[in-house]
Structure 1
Amino acid sequence: MVQVSYPGVYVQEVPSGVRTITGVSTSIAAFLGRASKGPIDKAVRLLSYADYERAFGEPHPQSDLADSVRMFFANGGTNCYVVRLAPGATPAVVTLRSLVPVPPGQAVLVAIAKAAGTWGNTVRMEVDYDTPNPDESFNLRVIQEEGGSVVQTESFTGLTMNPSSSRFAPSFVTQSSSLVDLELAAAMGSATDSGSFINTLANSFAGFSASRRPLRNPLTDPAGATDGAGIQAALNALFAGGETSFDISVNGSSYVTVDLSIAPALPATIAGIAGNIESKINDMLATLSPAPTVSVSLGTNVAGFGRFIEITAGNGDESAVRVRRAAANDIAGALMLGVDQGGIEKPRWSNFRPAPTASLMRLGDPTTPGDIGFANDVLTIDQNAITQITINGTNVALNTADFNIQTTAGTDPWYMNASGDSAVTGDNDGIREKLRIIARAINAEPDLGFQAEVWGYHLAVLATNGALGNEPTTLSTGTAAFDATLQTNVRQYSLGQDVGDFTTNGSPGTPGGNPTAGAYQGSEANQTGMHALDPVDLINLMVIPGDRDVTESVMNSVWGPVSVYCQRRRAFLLVDPPPSWTDSNGRPQVVQDTGLINQLRATMVKDHAAVFYPRLKYNARGLIKTIGPAGAIAGLMARTDGSRGVWKAPAGIEAGIRDIVGVNLELTDRENGVLNKKGVNCIRVLPNGIVNWGARTLDGDDDFGSEWKYISIRRLALMIEESLYRGTRWAVFEPNDEPLWANLRLNVGAFMNSLFRQGAFQGSSPTEAYYVRCDASTTTQNDRNLGIVNVEVGFAPLKPAEFVVIKIQQMAGQIET
């Protein structure tokens, strides 16, 4: 109501009361049966047969499900749901171990096939640490094979074991993958239990950052004196050259800049120097809220080389220490401190990463900042002089195209590791680049037969000659034989079995038993079996394809409950003929014993179901097999609905069945006549092709006299019921009086008139074709007191011309009277 306040013109929009009722879809099919893979007891929507292959894989050898769905789409279907049944099936499982402790490592992640069945035994996984921070994150590649060919690949990069990260591996992979779920192994505790995995520091080490270039004095002395005064002199020499600052972040905080040259000056003892650096870092971190803290040490003296700076988180969740170069006067590059400079940065929980599927170089325990794993012997890789390395007696060339580590370019080659630093050498002067060259060379050598993953993983970069400011061309890894530093692992982990040192508790997937009546019926409470369709908004056709391991008696016990379910969902059940309907000579036993028909429909809601006979022949990948016709008929109904309307019987010369090569028996006219009167729809071979030649429900026996004799009438009524049910919900809680009744008559009448104009009803005028009543005669005062409004809708359906009778009469001649 417009509130008028001043003289003038007011405009008010008045609702018209028109609420358009849209006819629902009439040909959404639902299929239940066994498949080779895919989710169990879950309705999966498919819009093509290619969707079926992606979701459910190759056809199950004993089930007709896949080929029934294929025939549905081939005959005109466009939309269906498939529910996979696999009672008692189990998924393929394997548990992945970490690198530490030294093998077998700790069980960290359980990989479980996304759905039960033997298909999971074909799933493989590859793990690598080839990430921007190889000490923190990892990549996972999941591969599924069928028939020796890769059919699906998924790649997940930058995963972590940090439970607060958005790329926490168990959560991220489980939510993103269609092949596997990842769970924490039992020994890891719960990622949701505040008392176990997340908050128990004992489950991991405190995050730390360690330099990779040792401090020594004098800078030109290869012996590398490591007393406090020597370290003091080494750092002061860097300060004198203007290298004083670095940026640091602790536990994910903002970065702050630390200047090591400010007062107080460095003392001359190892402990004093560490305390001095620690105080300067913590002073800057104190400006943050909350304020993290760190502890600093100069590590263990490495004879002949020096000491390494180690910065470890000291409070909070102790998750990480990250160092980057300062905008000015940077010292991080000279010390190789921070991952971008080639240093080691191990966040908390990184020791729980699964071991890489490769042969990798491991030196020391990554959970201990000072243990970077030096051995007595030294392997030297000289970028200027080395031509090859020898592994297990096999020579791997390092001085030829693609794998050449020799170079003389650059003035500080050991930390030129970022793209663009050295275009002359193809960015191959940096630490990780050299290691990648070595790894690629090993992987490319066919005689070795394994992968090498050596870049960025616990490799100590130690100078054996030259000055700190002009790092030499020698990389020492700590052992005399290169293969002694390699720990062999498999190329791929396999679901369902243990392979190598880094998997355990592998259990293969099992296919489950044969579908039982209980498996088809399922549980409404658990939404299994046919009740897996409960969450689906609308289904119109139900098909249960045959299964060679399911007996006729089991199927006969299934039809009744399924037909009741269809009645409740306003859907229509399409039934395949039982094997007993055809005798051993390939002739229709059902013609001789029509009691078989009564046995089939004894427990069924007869007006919501129809049976089609005989079985169809089709080409199954080069073999001629037979299949029940229900899937093809569902597609035919969809095609007929789209071209003519649901009120047109899906039968006649236009009702050709596609994607088949014949029928398993050809019925005669007289056999067809017997079966048609009993409500059996026959598929006939006619001169124009193989067609459906029947349109009766199982209530269409001539002896029954049912008003729901024909499929088209029943399905038209179901469509009207569902459309009106959905299209009149707006009336709930509206005032129950004549304005509401008039609106209901208007909207329902408009919907029925649109069907009449499309030719859905008998009659030459709307009054002959349908009526809509909603007034005081349909809704009494008592109904209104109870909150009830009654709408009565009647229609005159079109019945199919099942028998065309042509009368011919001879004219006796012209007789004048």
Structure 2
Amino acid sequence: MPTKPTHPGVYVEELPSGTRTVSAVTTSVTAFVGHTRRGPLNTPVRISSFTDFERRFGGLTSQSAVAYAVQQFFANGGTVAVIVRVAAAGTGKAACVTLESTEGRSACPALRVHAREPGVWGSGLRVAVDYDTRSPGETFNLRVFDAHGGARESFTGLSAQPGHGRFVETVVNPGSSLIRVEALAEDRPDPSGTVSKPFSDELPDLAVDLTVKIGDVEREFTLYDPDQDGEPPAGVTELALLLERKLRALPDAPGRRAFAGAEVTAFGDRLQVVAGSTDPEDTVRFVGECANDLGLEASVNPPVFPLCGGVDGDPPGPRDLIGSEARKTGLQALRGVDDVNLLSLPELAAYESTEDMVTVISAAQRLCQERRIFLLVDSPAAWVSADTARAGLAAFDRVRSHHAALYFPHLQLTDPLTGRLRAFPPSGAVAGVIARTDAERGVWKAPAGTEARLAGVRSLTVRLTDRESGLLNPLGVNVLRIFPAVGPVVWGARTLEGSDALESEWKYVPVRRLALHVEESLYRGLQWVVFEPNNEQLWQQIRLNASAYLHTLFRQGAFAGGTPREAYFVKCDRDTTTEADVEAGVVNVLVGIAPVRPAEFVIVRIRQMAGQFELQGS
């Protein structure tokens, strides 16, 4: 509000500048679409490391080209990726287990537990139930273990009653990354492990010899020895501590922790005894007359309930990868994701049919044009020489786009799963190189040259010569080369439309990506313009905001020209927006940039002079 002067003096008033900034968007967030070991189907998941990928998608598997591509992406400098898991339609099944309840008059199914996602991985999940809650007669706890991945989750104070504030479905389903549950009855599932009968306020004689079996191992021990154990337990809680200590002192089978990790819990007036193992076979059984007198044979269940029946989905075919825009499956799942700049489809390289490969690329390019994404295309695995590459390139004529670039040949790296040398499509590693180049130099720097080294690459499937490289480069193929003292590098920066014969203005990768970067930044940065009065004041603000953003890029070296006038212009006035446009609610902004083009060819001339020589570069 304006300051209202009330006395003679100096008044200070802070005024908003009214200037809105255009922020630069991301440039190298890479989407990978295809088969993975696990993960949510057709759901984009953002990750920032390969450790994240291992945790959410199961890590490397020989059947997943995506997994290796993601690993190579982060190894070469990538920082953020978006993963979309796709499987063949109608394949894959989530593991599950049905827990029963004996609280009613007869046993009945009480709770069905499903793995969160389809796949064999779900058969490694284990769930355990106990009643150690504030209301042990009404609620229960549910614990989840991933026997292979090591993840653990715990949900406490759950109820099987739909009207309860801690109803099991409303608590577990949105909160678990491992399972989803379905309540089948209003009775609680039986607890895992061995559960005793209720103890009375006065404990029975505890100076007895017990025999316990866990799995196929049997041990004997004295429950309470006055000479060694001191004062006898005064209640069920102290009895639980005594029994747990006795069990843990018993010798285990070699390599096992069934006794050493045993847990005894007191809930209400009962005991629950669970082996220190996630093996369903390690059931705790107390045998003999003394155990029966103490009520330790009342209810015997496995220490954990295993999920089973998980089936991996088959690798996706062309239709699965293309997906459905209506259902947001396959590639179309990326339509709802912001800040995706690069797209990699490493599974296409293994397709035997070039027609299938081109069909998927065509669909991917349509998506890329709509969402301002740049597609990295892997050369087919069948291209085993420069000649086969030149012969096979004709199949890509109908998908020659300035939103894509083709890279050849494939990489040879040591497979961490086998320790052997293996060929991999290059798009994952190239995406990492692009991310590293963007961070170090900027999106306007060609992701190629001696700085564009490919980390971890031992060799290439095809060792190209200068002559062979010179034949492929004019055709719009970006080759990968190995040079002495430098190693394997990306040695090309042309779009698929960058063939000399096409004479495209979008010939080079950095020029196309810089334009996409500018377009997306201005698109987002000028959203505030909508519904503003369409007049000269608005046009002036648009010119100021856009020019400030472009000037920042100019100072960073993104544009050609020695002055801002030579590098860019922004025009928004009555020449671009006519009276008819104003009446129609339209404001037109004309932006021009002069991008820096890569120095693709460097020529050195040598002239011999009398007794000396000099170099002239051009």
TM-score by length of 1: 0.66
* 1:98 to 2:97 alignment: no
Tell me by how many angstroms 1:177 deviates.
1.4
Correspondence for 1:297: none
Correspondence for 2:92: 89
The answer to whether the 8 Å contact 2:350/2:380 transfers is no
Correspondence for 1:397: 222
State the alpha-carbon separation in 1 of the partners of residues 212 and 564 from structure 2. 91
Correspondence for 2:80: 79
Aligned counterpart for 2:407 among listed residues 595, 606, 612: 612
Tell me by how many angstroms 1:761 deviates.
1.0
Correspondence for 1:526: 327
Aligned counterpart for 2:473 among listed residues 660, 671, 676: 676
What are the equivalent positions in structure 2 for 1:203-282 lying under 5 Å apart?
none
State the alpha-carbon separation in 2 of the partners of residues 116 and 707 from structure 1. 46
Aligned counterpart for 2:301 among listed residues 485, 489, 502: 489
State the alpha-carbon separation in 2 of the partners of residues 453 and 402 from structure 1. 23
Tell me by how many angstroms 1:391 deviates.
5.7
State the alpha-carbon separation in 1 of the partners of residues 77 and 494 from structure 2. 21
State the alpha-carbon separation in 1 of the partners of residues 113 and 351 from structure 2. 33
Deviations 1:383-429 (A, max 9, x none): 5xx1423568963312359994x626xxxxxxxxxxxxxxxxxxx41
What are the equivalent positions in structure 2 for 1:546-695 lying under 5 Å apart?
546=347, 550-553=351-354, 554-582=356-384, 587-591=385-389, 594-602=390-398, 604=399, 606-621=401-416, 622-687=419-484, 688-695=486-493
Correspondence for 2:616: none
Structure 2 unaligned runs (5+)?
Answer: 272-288, 612-618
Deviations 1:516-571 (A, max 9, x none): 22211112222211122222211100001227875444322200001110111101
The answer to whether the 8 Å contact 2:349/2:381 transfers is no
The answer to whether the 8 Å contact 1:769/1:796 transfers is yes
Tell me by how many angstroms 1:3 deviates.
9.7
Deviations 1:88-128 (A, max 9, x none): 2221111111133477x211111010111111011111222
- Name the SS of the counterpart of 1:395 in structure 2: strand
Q: CA, structure 1 residues 561+752, in 2 after alignment: closer, same or farther (shift >3 Å)?
A: same
What are the equivalent positions in structure 2 for 1:62-461 lying under 5 Å apart?
62-87=63-88, 88-101=91-104, 105-146=107-148, 151-185=150-184, 188=185, 352-362=187-197, 381-383=204-206, 386-390=207-211, 395-399=220-224, 404=229, 407=231, 428-438=233-243, 441=246, 445=250, 455-456=266-267
Amino acid at match of 2:571: R
- Name the SS of the counterpart of 2:447 in structure 1: coil
Correspondence for 1:412: none
What are the equivalent positions in structure 2 for 1:531-550 lying under 5 Å apart?
531-546=332-347, 550=351
Correspondence for 1:225: none
Q: CA, structure 1 residues 750+380, in 2 after alignment: closer, same or farther (shift >3 Å)?
A: closer
State the alpha-carbon separation in 2 of the partners of residues 668 and 549 from structure 1. 25
Correspondence for 1:321: none
Deviations 1:220-266 (A, max 9, x none): xxxxxxxxxxxxxxxxxxxxxxxxxxxxxxxxxxxxxxxxxxxxxxx
Correspondence for 1:47: 48
Amino acid at match of 1:173: V
Correspondence for 1:764: 562
State the alpha-carbon separation in 2 of the partners of residues 441 and 402 from structure 1. 14
State the alpha-carbon separation in 2 of the partners of residues 685 and 549 from structure 1. 23
- Name the SS of the counterpart of 1:485 in structure 2: coil
State the alpha-carbon separation in 2 of the partners of residues 793 and 50 from structure 1. 42
Amino acid at match of 1:161: A
Q: CA, structure 1 residues 547+362, in 2 after alignment: closer, same or farther (shift >3 Å)?
A: farther
Q: CA, structure 1 residues 535+54, in 2 after alignment: closer, same or farther (shift >3 Å)?
A: same
State the alpha-carbon separation in 2 of the partners of residues 131 and 4 from structure 1. 64
Tell me by how many angstroms 1:145 deviates.
2.4
Tell me by how many angstroms 1:598 deviates.
2.8
Correspondence for 1:267: none
State the alpha-carbon separation in 2 of the partners of residues 704 and 181 from structure 1. 54
The answer to whether the 8 Å contact 1:358/1:453 transfers is no
Correspondence for 1:58: 59
* 1:774 to 2:572 alignment: yes
Amino acid at match of 2:468: E
Tell me by how many angstroms 1:176 deviates.
1.8
Structure 1 unaligned runs (5+)?
Answer: 189-348, 364-371, 409-427, 461-476, 497-507
Amino acid at match of 2:561: G
Amino acid at match of 2:376: L
State the alpha-carbon separation in 1 of the partners of residues 292 and 19 from structure 2. 88
The answer to whether the 8 Å contact 2:144/2:154 transfers is yes
Bigger CA drift: 675-684 or 729-738?
Answer: 729-738
- Name the SS of the counterpart of 1:581 in structure 2: coil
Correspondence for 1:472: none
The answer to whether the 8 Å contact 1:124/1:492 transfers is yes
Amino acid at match of 1:396: F
- Name the SS of the counterpart of 2:62 in structure 1: coil
Correspondence for 2:543: 745
Correspondence for 2:274: none
Q: CA, structure 1 residues 433+402, in 2 after alignment: closer, same or farther (shift >3 Å)?
A: farther
State the alpha-carbon separation in 2 of the partners of residues 46 and 459 from structure 1. 45
Amino acid at match of 1:122: G
- Name the SS of the counterpart of 1:777 in structure 2: coil
Q: CA, structure 1 residues 456+79, in 2 after alignment: closer, same or farther (shift >3 Å)?
A: closer
Deviations 1:25-80 (A, max 9, x none): 10111001111111111111111111111111132321211111111111111111
The answer to whether the 8 Å contact 2:349/2:425 transfers is no
The answer to whether the 8 Å contact 2:194/2:297 transfers is no
State the alpha-carbon separation in 2 of the partners of residues 128 and 807 from structure 1. 83
* 1:728 to 2:551 alignment: no
The answer to whether the 8 Å contact 2:344/2:427 transfers is yes
The answer to whether the 8 Å contact 2:5/2:11 transfers is no
The answer to whether the 8 Å contact 2:197/2:296 transfers is no
State the alpha-carbon separation in 1 of the partners of residues 561 and 227 from structure 2. 83
The answer to whether the 8 Å contact 1:27/1:540 transfers is yes
Tell me by how many angstroms 1:750 deviates.
1.2
State the alpha-carbon separation in 2 of the partners of residues 95 and 390 from structure 1. 31
The answer to whether the 8 Å contact 1:121/1:494 transfers is yes
Q: CA, structure 1 residues 799+401, in 2 after alignment: closer, same or farther (shift >3 Å)?
A: farther
- Name the SS of the counterpart of 1:677 in structure 2: helix
Deviations 1:439-462 (A, max 9, x none): 6545765689797968446669xx
Amino acid at match of 1:770: Y
Q: CA, structure 1 residues 672+93, in 2 after alignment: closer, same or farther (shift >3 Å)?
A: same
Q: CA, structure 1 residues 157+548, in 2 after alignment: closer, same or farther (shift >3 Å)?
A: farther
- Name the SS of the counterpart of 2:127 in structure 1: strand
TM-score by length of 2: 0.86
Amino acid at match of 1:793: V
- Name the SS of the counterpart of 1:757 in structure 2: helix
The answer to whether the 8 Å contact 2:348/2:357 transfers is no
State the alpha-carbon separation in 2 of the partners of residues 30 and 710 from structure 1. 21
State the alpha-carbon separation in 2 of the partners of residues 726 and 381 from structure 1. 75
Q: CA, structure 1 residues 2+629, in 2 after alignment: closer, same or farther (shift >3 Å)?
A: same
- Name the SS of the counterpart of 2:128 in structure 1: strand
